[in-house]
Structure 1
Amino acid sequence: MSQVAKRYAEALFQLAGKNQSIAEVSADLKELTAAIEATPALLELLKAPKISSAKKKEMLSEILVNANSAVVNTVQLLVDKQRISDIVAVAEEFQALATSAGGAAEATVYSTRALTEAENAEISAAFAKLVGKSKLEIKNIIEPSILGGIRVQIGNYIYDSTVASKLEGLKRTLVV
């Protein structure tokens, strides 16, 4: 995560907090990030040096017609400062700030299959206490190479109880 993206996200978060629109800004940023991920050509178009900043801002105004004004202004500022390539990083950092402010933490759970709602709730309850939060916002990534079990990543902490890691530990013990 770049320091620049972090600063823009913090400024946007403070503005959204002042305007009591954190949830609205968060939803708009999620929508914008989804659009960029679904259409990578959009970001390439916005980064194109041959297109003027005014034209880029005009395109963004049409795309973000129903978005919160703070989101529109931030994205247009990123265009002016030639930092539009940081938009996804700004959105991710904003989401982390919003989640943390709500007493939660973001967690990535790697498993061999999609987790059920009950499993998500159980993992959230168990691991939230370990990091001093009330709940976890879980993103589930399916990774067949772990063979079984789960690996939970919360910030810099990794809790690994996968079959693959246990087999690797056993292998190291037996080979030495």
Structure 2
Amino acid sequence: MSETIIAKRYAQALFHIGQERSKLEEFESELRTLQEVLRNNQALYSFLQHPRITLDQKKQLVNESFQSFSKEVIHTLNLLLDRHREEILSAMVDQFLTLMNETKGIADAKVYSVRALSEGEKKRISKTFAPKVGKQTLNITNYVDRSLIGGLRVRIGNRIFDGSVSGKLDRIERELVSNK
């Protein structure tokens, strides 16, 4: 079975527990912290996946490192360790955060521009493009891409809105080539 499917199942189970116990916000905060720790500490990820380290040692590290986390999140982490699913830990967190974003009407967007965008510009982009994808707001990650020449390229999920100068030039070129 695909790792993404398995990660989604664990995320959905934790999400439903959070709904039942009204702890979704708490779980989200804890999982964002875990995601940041995993991104910034490759040694932890390597430790959890190392075959010579015993299950008890792995659980001890998780329990001590994340002792401030709720018992449900710790239990989920231990369950992943019990079932030797350490490799899907990051994917499970991503799936949970995706479920939270769907619940809140938020979508993640990648915005490519010639220069870094200000917070005001990000808010205007969110206000403009969120309704086009049926969301209330967008979490914008800005990438500087000087090859655009000017304008913006916005990617939300699998949809791309290309208003860049280079994109317009490419479209004009394709049109001229196809009309020969």
State the partner residue of 1:2: 4
State the partner residue of 1:21: 23
| Residues 144 and 20 of structure 1, relative CA distance in 2, 3 Å threshold | farther
Higher-Rg structure is 2
* Structure 1 residue 24 displacement after superposition: 1.4
RMSD: 1.7
| Residues 167 and 17 of structure 1, relative CA distance in 2, 3 Å threshold | same
Q: Does 1:160 align with 2:127?
A: no
Q: Distance in 2 between matches of 1:70 and 1:146?
A: 46
Query: Which residue among 94, 97, 100 is the counterpart of 1:95?
Result: 97
Q: Distance in 2 between matches of 1:142 and 1:86?
A: 30
Q: Distance in 1 between matches of 2:34 and 2:168?
A: 40
Please, what TM-score do these two structures have when normalized by structure 2? 0.89
Identity of aligned residues (%): 37
* Structure 1 residue 175 displacement after superposition: 4.2
| Residues 79 and 130 of structure 1, relative CA distance in 2, 3 Å threshold | same
State the partner residue of 2:36: 34
Is the CA contact 1:99–1:137 (under 8 Å) kept in the aligned structure 2? Answer: no
Flag structure 2 segments of 5+ consecutive residues without an equivalent: none
State the partner residue of 2:47: 45
State the partner residue of 1:54: 56
* Structure 1 residue 94 displacement after superposition: 0.9
SS of residue matched to 2:87: helix
**AA of the residue aligned to 1:19:** R
Please, what TM-score do these two structures have when normalized by structure 1? 0.91
* Structure 1 residue 114 displacement after superposition: 2.4
* Structure 1 residue 46 displacement after superposition: 0.4
State the partner residue of 2:123: 121
* Deviation sequence 1:122-169 (CA, Å, 0-9, x none): 111111111122212222233333333222122221111122222222
Q: Does 1:72 align with 2:68?
A: no
Following TM superposition, the consecutive aligned residue runs of length 4 or more in structure 1 with deviations greater than 6 angstroms are none
* Deviation sequence 1:69-117 (CA, Å, 0-9, x none): 2221111111111111111111111111101101222222222332211
Q: Distance in 2 between matches of 1:145 and 1:57?
A: 47
